[in-house]
Structure 1
Amino acid sequence: MLSKVHYLALFVLSLCCFPAFAQDKVAFKFGKVSPEDFKQSLPSFDTGAHAIILGDMGYSRVVPNNEGGFGYEFERKIRVYIVDKNGIDAGKFEIPLYSSTSNDMKEEVRRFNGVTYNLEDGKIVETKLENNQVFTEKITKNRSDKKFSMPALREGSIFELSYMLKSDYLFQFRDWAFQNEYPTLWSEYEVEIPEYFDYVYLTQGYQKYHINTNKDVSRTYRINGGRTEFIGGTRNDIVLTGLAKMKRWVMKDVPALKSESFITTLENYRSKIEFQLSSIRFPNQAPKLVMENWQKVTADLMQSENFGQAMERVDGSLEDLIKPHVAGINDPTEKAIRIYEYFRDNFTWNGYGGIYTSGNLKNVIKTKTGSIGDINLMLIAALKSFGYTAYPIILSTRSRGYTHELYPLMDRFNYVVCAVLIGESDYLLDASDPDLGFGRLPNRCYNGHARVLMQDPLPISLAADSILERKVTLATLVASPQDVKGSIQSSMGYFSSTYYRGLVREKGEDAVFNSIKTRFGSEYEISNTHIDSLKKKDLPIKITYDFQTKNEEADVLYIDPVLDPFSKENPFQSPKRFYPVEMPYRIDETYLLNFEIPEGYKVDEMPKSAKVGLNDGDGYFEYLVSTEPGRIQLRTRVVLAKAYFTPEEYESLREFFGYVIKKQSEQIVLKKATP
């Protein structure tokens, strides 16, 4: 018999363990809503939420389909509370469904159910989502989206949605996002995968798992003999008995995914899990590799009619069009520049990305308009036709998200550029941007891993840390009791130059100086404006102008010495940050001022010289002031030695920016000299 002490110990132990068990599942039961459920308070970790995802649960399992192979079933249940009218968009859904035009593989939604609950006069009123409120939109020939909005949503509503999806696409196993645009109290995903299928699990995000478990269970699968591409071609039903891996992931109290300044795309940091089928291993059969390596991917692309074969079939008339532009040029670099400029200056990008051609390159040559793939693959073909060694480089732009160097996941790649070898040098080219010079890529391409598609595909890194944006501003300032006037000359960085070239091309030079006048304020007049090197696209531009503003005659004059500051306000307002800071490039900005003190005045207050560093060599800021009779000289310099800062470095970066902005806003105070 157990003693009272033992009973007490067991009771205490059960009390201690109870909260842990209680946290193993969502805190409510789907389909049962009570008046108490409408008394939902805002989560402490996101008090500004407009909607709250109370529970979001998914379950996927690989099962035999009706075609003699395997597919999967995906079920989802979600309950959401609408805090205010700004959260009603939480009830909008799009479910992508894929189908094949070459076989019977498809996806379809079954067991669809949606209900909105509202509390009216103490009673719960249900409004069901009707079938005629669900629309199907054809996106591409292989994709259709189910689109709908939950009905009767308003402040204080609760809605639940559940559906099951059946899919034949094992390679495109359903992903799961634990983090969304609204805070999530409980997000759970469970998968069951037979031992015959090996998947690569790709996880990302900064949120930690509350539960992460796996176990093996015995399963029996009956395979229909109608289609047996996986298991050897027999027409009879087959029964397989084996193990299945069950994996369960849970995150709780997940904050909303919110946009931050200086970030490539939030999708890089959303807490989620993705799956890629790697191989298939059925009993008594050799493993079948499904995920291809880079050599195979490259070979397939070069045989693709909209990639490698498209370059091979470029009409010979294109070469005839280029020949007049390179006639008499023997220098190989100069000739390559002329070929590049022909495409840049004669073809217009239609705004579509992608690594493939849009189809008929003869039509592109005729209309002089095409996609990224059209223009840059033709550039590669043209360079090859003139004897150059040139290769395509595929990449993902900054707004698209990162690619994996190890896994050739082709849906991540949305851009193609050209690499050309000339002697011992190689140049990267993008002819789709009319404002770029030879050997330059637009900033959107600097997103880490890219792949040169050669016989032995080569990984390269297009990192923002590898490029430097340098700006030098020279300013003169003359003050008097009646006015303040001066001039500014700014030598811009290359990417700023590209931006201003585009602005001038689209809206004229006035647009550049109107933006400068807006920065100064309406009390200032801008005159003698000029932009140098606009047409010389290999060089940075230089912007010069004079300025003047009226001054009220007074015994005390307040002068802003930094007329072109590094930043007007700190872009890092949040006290905490969960994501890295991803600047588009490294920065080196210098500002020099020569200020003539007006006659009859003397310096009463002067900013002090200072120099501060950022972390351990990540950058620095200097503010140097020197005086001589009748003149003040000022030099400020902001240097960021890298473009990527981790969340742990955020606080110091925020403080650094704050100090720079505060210091550059300090004024010089002049007082009338007493006789």
Structure 2
Amino acid sequence: MKALIFGLHLALLAPLCAVAQKSPVKFGEIPMVDMTMKIYDKDSSASAVILSDYGEAYVTVTAVNITLSFERHVRIKILKKDGFDQADVEIPLYREGSEEERITKLKATTYNLENGKVVETDLSKDGIFKEKFNRNINLQKFTFPNVKEGSVLEYSYTLVSEFFTNFPDWQFQYDVPVRWSEYWALFPEYFAFQKYMQGYLPPAIYEVKPKNSTDFRIDAHHWVMKDVPAFKDEPFITCKNDYVSKINLALSHITIPGQPVREIMGTWQKLNTNLLESEGFGKTVTGSGFLKKKAEELTTGMTDPQQKVAAIFAYVQKSLEWNGTKDIYADNLKTIFENKKGTAADINVALASMLEKIDIPVDMVLLSTRDHGFVREQYPMSSQFNYAICIVTLGDKTLLLDATDRFLPMGILPERCLNGRGLVISKTKHGWIDLKPNAKARTVINTELVLNPTGELKGKVKYTHEGYAAREFRQAYFAKGEQEYMKGFLADKAWDIESSEFQNQTEITQSVNQVHALLINEHVTVAGGMIYMNPFVVGQTKENVFKLETREYPVDFGKPEEKTYLCRLTIPDGYAVEELPKPKVMMLPNNAGRYTYSVSQTGNMVNIVSMLQINKSMFVMDEYPNLREFYNQIVAKQAEQIVLKKL
């Protein structure tokens, strides 16, 4: 960066700066119509509305330095208590080494209408604080004072950055509606940017205006969106940041007359080379010599490479606790082992380093977790990644390893990692690899129940959890303890538990079971010699999770799922079956999903088997109508009852 800045200074001896634009509103001048607003007319359900969101970014080049400036002015109307979270503001500040972006000219005011007059409450300096988010990001935070239903909140600031290659993106859409959103990005003519829109809302205005500043031309890119609807969060998406309407910007290269082109974005191969040679990544894997002795001790007498990998994996998984931070660079591994806790990068780089010490072919894989968003492979930027795992190659077998989760066996990635493709960082095998799940989320519920004429059910319910479902159970069970787990488990059930048994809680390579002996008194209806009973005493799908008629983004389950419910019901003497649910089989195209409902009766025994299988992780928008109707029919089928008649 310093060499680049020096070269630019030599080329640009005359100052180059922006031509300031104007915010569409003036700070402190709040129209009375906004102060008295009770409901936003374009979305009566809105808890708040962003009245105006204005931003302007520009680069200033002088003979002394180069700076990136980003000015922002936001005005928000609070309509309901649910909108109070809009009063909490976070501004990310990038940092590298001793340099950090800084905020200047920050001001924030709350406006309330009291006795017909507008009363202002300014943010005090002691209400502003900073906290670390990860290695390269700090968060400047503040909360507006005196916020009430009906308040208008307004803030503005200027962010000043020496990292002029980190040109800010602009988000038009949020989880509350936006009345006006406007962004100016002023690019010096020598700076070439990649620009791409995401989301499904086109801008009302997009224009490029050339502006002269001393000896250089500035291209002022201008976007406006009006009456932007709130982003409606639907189930089974990676993160909303992948789908909100947004303009993304990335500096590609700088072309100075008479000088070679200066690549900024570079290539994935260049990133690969840099990471292999960097501290905290490649050099930490091949260094960290203190781990050699322990790695050799753990694998003494072993000849099978996979057995060695398993021994090292188990040691790291049990020795180092994940602190919840996602990162791609590791700190000093000796300190990490002393503290017995670290980031995802600390743990997985440590795993790679120990494997490297016993000559296991291991590399690192960069990825973006589901809550961080997609990786756009056409834009080679390391900022798209926030996580690192290991990849081991044993003959023709490849293992993806993440030792951060103590409830997942070796070779099964945490669900947060199942997000498209990862980038292998390697001297010999650099490239992309699919991040596919090696397990399902499988649950089998087996009920054996005896029904008496008063409507009481007595028997047992057994849950068997496998794969990701077992991980979810173990995480809840060990986080709460058995007693608290049972309180939560029974919170929505009218069950009288006689006894409970748990099996294989600590054996993460096996399925985990819970068996409950119970009485159920509030599930069956008895009336006029008839008994009505839904066979699902637990696990019934009562409503369709896919509520929108159309969906503008994919359904991403993350991993395959399988849910099986078995009911073996003994009916009381003196009663006969009047009506049973009909068998049914449904399939989605290409066997992407399957639902089977079977019914049989032998004497006084009725057997119900319900099995739902989701066989692929991603459903695109064109597949949504079929998927939604598939779930509609499941809801309808599982609502059907068994009807018994007294003889």
Change (3 A) 1:145 1:328: closer
Structure 2: how far apart are the matches of 1:495 and 1:480? 37
* 2:207 pairs with 1:207: no
Change (3 A) 1:588 1:290: same
Q: Which of the numbers 178, 181, 191 marks the counterpart of 1:184?
A: 178
Matched residue type, 1:295: Q
Residue pair 2:441, 2:470 contacting (<8 A) in 1 also: no
CA shift at 1:289, angstroms? 0.5
Residue pair 2:495, 2:518 contacting (<8 A) in 1 also: no
Per the alignment, residue 191 of structure 2 pairs with 197
* 2:347 pairs with 1:396: no
Structure 2: how far apart are the matches of 1:560 and 1:118? 54
Structure 1: how far apart are the matches of 2:305 and 2:137? 46
Per the alignment, residue 583 of structure 2 pairs with 609
Query: What SS does the corresponding residue of 1:492 show, helix, strand or coil?
Result: strand
Structure 2: how far apart are the matches of 1:343 and 1:148? 39
CA deviation vs aligned residue, 1:511-556 (integer Å, no higher than 9, x gap): 555555445x23432535242x444422333443433335898733
Query: What SS does the corresponding residue of 1:60 show, helix, strand or coil?
Result: strand
CA shift at 1:42, angstroms? 3.4
Query: What SS does the corresponding residue of 1:493 show, helix, strand or coil?
Result: strand
CA deviation vs aligned residue, 1:480-532 (integer Å, no higher than 9, x gap): 2254223344432301112223344444455555555445x23432535242x
**1:9-88 correspondence runs (5 A):** 32-40=29-37, 42-65=39-62, 68-88=64-84
Query: What SS does the corresponding residue of 2:175 show, helix, strand or coil?
Result: coil
* 2:418 pairs with 1:446: yes
* 2:538 pairs with 1:541: no
Structure 1: how far apart are the matches of 2:323 and 2:136? 23
Change (3 A) 1:377 1:92: closer
Structure 1: how far apart are the matches of 2:347 and 2:138? 29
Per the alignment, residue 17 of structure 1 pairs with none
Change (3 A) 1:471 1:147: closer
Structure 2: how far apart are the matches of 1:31 and 1:296? 49
Change (3 A) 1:406 1:463: farther
CA shift at 1:52, angstroms? 1.7
* 2:85 pairs with 1:109: no
**1:216-365 correspondence runs (5 A):** 216-220=210-214, 241-316=215-290, 318-359=291-332, 361-365=333-337
CA deviation vs aligned residue, 1:324-357 (integer Å, no higher than 9, x gap): 4333322222222122222223332233331222
Matched residue type, 2:169: D
What RMSD in Å do the two structures reach over aligned CA positions?
A: 3.2
Q: What stretches of structure 2 of length at least 5 have no aligned partner?
A: 1-21
CA shift at 1:282, angstroms? 0.7
Q: Which of the numbers 548, 554, 573 marks the counterpart of 1:599?
A: 573
Structure 2: how far apart are the matches of 1:131 and 1:602? 75
CA shift at 1:26, angstroms? 9.4
Matched residue type, 2:45: G
CA deviation vs aligned residue, 1:3-22 (integer Å, no higher than 9, x gap): xxxxxxxxxxxxxxxxxxxx
CA deviation vs aligned residue, 1:433-461 (integer Å, no higher than 9, x gap): 22221212111110112111112521112
* 2:474 pairs with 1:501: yes
Matched residue type, 1:355: I
Structure 2: how far apart are the matches of 1:658 and 1:616? 19
Query: What SS does the corresponding residue of 2:331 show, helix, strand or coil?
Result: coil
Per the alignment, residue 396 of structure 2 pairs with 424
* 2:459 pairs with 1:486: yes
Structure 2: how far apart are the matches of 1:54 and 1:247? 22
Query: What SS does the corresponding residue of 1:394 show, helix, strand or coil?
Result: strand
Shifted more, 349-358 versus 533-542: the winner is 533-542
CA deviation vs aligned residue, 1:562-611 (integer Å, no higher than 9, x gap): 23425354333455544433223122323333333322110122212223
Matched residue type, 1:479: L
CA deviation vs aligned residue, 1:142-164 (integer Å, no higher than 9, x gap): 76655444455433333443444
Per the alignment, residue 565 of structure 1 pairs with 539
CA deviation vs aligned residue, 1:117-169 (integer Å, no higher than 9, x gap): 4445545x352636646635264897665544445543333344344444332
Structure 2: how far apart are the matches of 1:501 and 1:117? 49
Residue pair 1:127, 1:151 contacting (<8 A) in 2 also: no
Structure 2: how far apart are the matches of 1:99 and 1:424? 42
Matched residue type, 2:47: H
Per the alignment, residue 359 of structure 2 pairs with 387
Shifted more, 572-581 versus 625-634: the winner is 572-581
Shifted more, 170-179 versus 583-592: the winner is 583-592
Query: What SS does the corresponding residue of 1:246 show, helix, strand or coil?
Result: strand
Per the alignment, residue 522 of structure 1 pairs with 494
* 2:604 pairs with 1:630: yes
Residue pair 2:419, 2:558 contacting (<8 A) in 1 also: no
Structure 1: how far apart are the matches of 2:625 and 2:240? 20
Query: What SS does the corresponding residue of 1:420 show, helix, strand or coil?
Result: strand
TM (normalized to structure 1)?
Answer: 0.83
Structure 2: how far apart are the matches of 1:151 and 1:471? 48
Q: What stretches of structure 1 of length at least 5 have no aligned partner?
A: 1-24, 221-240
Change (3 A) 1:98 1:565: closer
Query: What SS does the corresponding residue of 1:277 show, helix, strand or coil?
Result: strand
Structure 1: how far apart are the matches of 2:36 and 2:559? 48
* 2:637 pairs with 1:666: no
Residue pair 2:166, 2:250 contacting (<8 A) in 1 also: yes
Change (3 A) 1:601 1:516: farther
Shifted more, 142-151 versus 477-486: the winner is 142-151
Change (3 A) 1:548 1:438: same
Q: Which of the numbers 576, 579, 587 marks the counterpart of 2:561?
A: 587
CA shift at 1:649, angstroms? 4.3
Structure 1: how far apart are the matches of 2:517 and 2:391? 43
Which one has a bigger Cα radius of gyration? 1
Residue pair 1:503, 1:511 contacting (<8 A) in 2 also: no
Residue pair 2:199, 2:243 contacting (<8 A) in 1 also: yes
Residue pair 1:133, 1:148 contacting (<8 A) in 2 also: no
Structure 2: how far apart are the matches of 1:102 and 1:143? 13
Matched residue type, 1:55: S
Residue pair 2:322, 2:347 contacting (<8 A) in 1 also: yes
